[in-house]
Amino acid sequence: MFNAIILWIHIFAATVFVGPQVFLFAVAMPAIRTIDDARQRAALTRAITRGFGVLGGAALGLLIVTGIINVFQANDQHDLDAKRYFITLQIKVTLVVAVLALTALHGVILGRRLERLREDGAPEDEIAKTRRLSMWLSAANLTLSIIILLCAAILGSQWSRMGSLR
């Protein structure tokens, strides 16, 4: 039962992390861009992204802890001995590291830079350039997160357990 609960927490945390990314990228941010008043637009963006930052950060923490536990469980079940499982797991872990790096870059560095530019009254073209970079990083993070979900599905399949490393 412990394994099932850990897997459920992992799946729930992935849902909490990826679902809002899809919503923000596809619905919220395009809607926010229709607000004419720059201050209102910035305030709403800041409120939404800060809220997601807290929620997403907590979900990422849970994903890391439960992911590590899942690797130990896979090792106990000899899943790591299967070549396809091992390779898929390595791809997933590499993508997770990339998502962590992009999340830190986007949320901590770029987000603060954008806020500072707005507070300092920077030229609109500089703010727009930073905002475009933010959008591209968000899209890359979302894409990698979706590929991680695919890797998770592969790891859960019987196909991944075929072919021994020995």
For 53-67, what is each residue's pLDDT tens digit?
A: 899 999 999 999 999
pLDDT value of residue 94: 97
pLDDT value of residue 99: 95
User: Which band of pLDDT confidence, cut at 50, 70 and 90, is reported for residue 141?
Assistant: very high
Closest listed residue to residue 18, CA positions, set 71, 55, 65: 55
Closest listed residue to residue 134, CA positions, set 93, 155, 106: 106
Beta-bridged to residue 82, according to DSSP, are: 164
pTM over 0.95: no
Q: Where are the domains of the chain?
A: 2-161
Tell me the pLDDT of the chain averaged across its residues.
88
